[in-house]
Every structure is written in structure tokens, then in C-alpha cells.
Homo-oligomer: A and B are copies of this chain.
Amino acid sequence: MTETVQLALDEIKPLCEKVLRHNGYGEAHVSAIAHMLYTCQLDDCQSHGLFRLLMCIDTMRNGKIDGNAEPVIAPSSNAIVKADACNAMSLLAVEKALPELINKARQHGIAALAINNCYHFSALWPEVERLASEGLAAMAMVPSHSWVAPAGGKRGSLGTNPIAFSWPRPGQNPFTFDFATSAFARGEIELYRRAGKPLPDGVAVDRDGKPTTDPQAAMDGAMLTFGGYKGSALSIMVELLAGPLIDDLTSLESMEHAAGLGGAPYHGEVILAFDLAQFNGARMEENDARAERLFSDIIDQGARLPSQRRYAARARNLERGYVEVSKQLHDDILKFLE
């Protein structure tokens, strides 16, 4: 069993802030990043919680990121908000631009936010859930690095390319999903490699494009998309909407930009927001009831809605007042304060 440490909820942000500050992030970025790490850790989202501090520090040590850049939101009269992160982490730009996206969605009925020139390490669900908390439906997409082969291919062209979606539900947690269009997350393959375990079938190909269950061969070769040619098509859509649509890098270009260094990939992000009342002719109650009936029909047959486990973890952690993280991770994080 992994040895864990308990962190009180009110210790999480100060710890993150201290580490980020100590490693070159300016106050505004420290605050935005720490808030994201706290949000994910609170939900037991181990892959995107405190663990990502390591990636934030790596990214800073690579020397390309600007730890102090102020994002620039371009004024516009259409339904598109363009936020230039100016070579910094994405989160401060998102934080500054979301109120404007919300305004635009309420004004036009549908609106989009393009974040450009950002390093990106974070889960997408906190951003779409933030919009759902304002009563908007939302969808978000980002590319990453070209580790993933298209259906029928044998080498990486696509990123892990997550899609997140959130739909507001009055009086309860929203319907939310956030998943990679790759069959596995990159980090999962690394975990299998460390554990010396074979991968499941259908997750990766080796450098000759042959199916493999060997984690090292997979890392030297390419990952596959989920759901065969359909997942591959969706992944290409993510490349297009979060890349050329918003004048930012594809996963191929992002990989080149990194030039073999680790840390967070550098690319754009796109978020769409939908104002429910304008779409449904202000028939909110009838349509909330319609959505609730669908959710009930799913739950009543023993199926789970996406994120149910995460919401349960959040409730439990809020109740008990602490989260658990691996001692190893905690030790690694403390070293960044030396």
C-alpha cells in the first residue's frame, strides 16, 4: 500500500503557493495555479491535483515560460473572446477571460473563448463547471503533444486531446465529463511501465506500428485513440478547433516547440459557452425536467453519470476537512522549497 499523508483543506493552497512563489511564479499566477490544484485535489483527482506542481516547476526550470506575464484580453464586438496568455500558464488568462465569456454568452446566446500562447497542465472540468455554475452549458478542448496515432496509422500525429463538457443542473452538481480522446492518459502508461505491468490491448502500437502491450515499446511508439476511427475523428476535430481555428499550435507543433524538454505543453485552448434560456425560449423548467428525466433513467438502471465518483470524493473531503496524498509526492513537493 502507498503511504499517504493527510493535508488539511486549508493547508493545500498555502503549500502550493509557497512552492510556486519559491520557484519563479509571480503572485497572480501563483494564486490562479494554486486554486486549480486545490480544486482538483479536493475531488481526489490525483493526476491533476498536487501532482501537477511537479510539472509546473519543470516548466519553469525549462526556462521558456514567463512566470509574471499579464494576460491580454482583446476587446471585440462579436461573440469571440480572445485572451493572449503571453507565454505564461493558461490559468490566469482563463480566470481573467471567463467573466467576458459569460457576458458574451448572455449577450449572443452562444460564445467562444480562445486562449492563445499558453502553457497548459490542468484538467478542463473546473473551467466548464465554473461556467455551469453560472447557468451556462460549456465545452472545452485542448491539444497536447503528438503522442497519439490516428486510426489506421502507426506514429503519433495527434495529442491526447481532451474534451470536457458541463451542463448545469439546478440545486445539484452539474453533469460533467472530461476525458482524453486517447485510449489511455500518457501518465497511465508511465505508471504501467514503473509497475512492470503489461498494458491492456488496443492502447498503443510500437515504433513499427504493431499493436503492443509493452509500456516501454508504447512510449517509444505511439498511443491509440479511444473508440477506434470515431475517437480518432474526434481527436482530429480537437486539433482543428483548439489549433488552426484559434490560430494556435497543433500537437505536432507543440511537440516541436518543446524540443524534447518535459514540462507542460505549449498551445491554445478553446471553450464554448451556451446560454440555455436563449436557446430554449426561456422554457427553463420544462427543459430542466426533461434533462433530469434522462439522468434518472440512466441512474435508475444502475449506471453512473460521469463525475459521480468525483462529486462523492468532494463531499467526503469537505466533510472530513482533509485530503490524502502519497507521502512520496508530498516529500517531492517539499524538496522544491529547499
- Tell me the A residues contacting B by CB distance below 8 Å: 76, 78-80, 82, 107-112, 114, 137, 139, 146, 149-155, 157, 163, 165, 167, 175, 177, 179, 181, 209, 226-234, 236-237, 239-241, 243-247, 249-250, 252-253, 272, 274, 276, 278-281, 283, 286-288, 290-291, 293-294, 297-298, 301-306
Contact = CB atoms under 8 A, between A and B. Distances in A.
A141 to B, nearest CB: 11
Contacts of A283: 247
Most buried by B among A80, A152, A244, A306: A244
**Quick one: copies of this chain in the complex?**
2
A258 B286 CA distance: 20
Given A152-B304, A155-B301, 20 more contacts: A79-B109, A80-B278, A110-B112, A139-B237, A153-B302, A154-B301, A157-B297, A157-B301, A177-B236, A179-B230, A226-B227, A226-B230, A227-B231, A229-B306, A233-B306, A243-B294, A244-B276, A244-B287, A244-B291, A249-B290
B111 A252 contact: no
A314 to B, nearest CB: 19
A137 B181 CA distance: 20
Contacts of A150: 298, 301, 303
Contacts of A179: 230, 233
A14 to B, nearest CB: 35
A237 B157 contact: no
Nearest to A163: B234
Contacts of A228: 226-227
Contacts of A167: 237, 240
Contact of A165 (B231, B237, B274): B237
Nearest to A237: B165
17 contacts: A78-B107, A79-B108, A80-B278, A108-B110, A137-B240, A153-B298, A153-B302, A153-B303, A157-B298, A157-B301, A177-B233, A177-B236, A226-B230, A227-B228, A244-B287, A245-B276, A250-B294
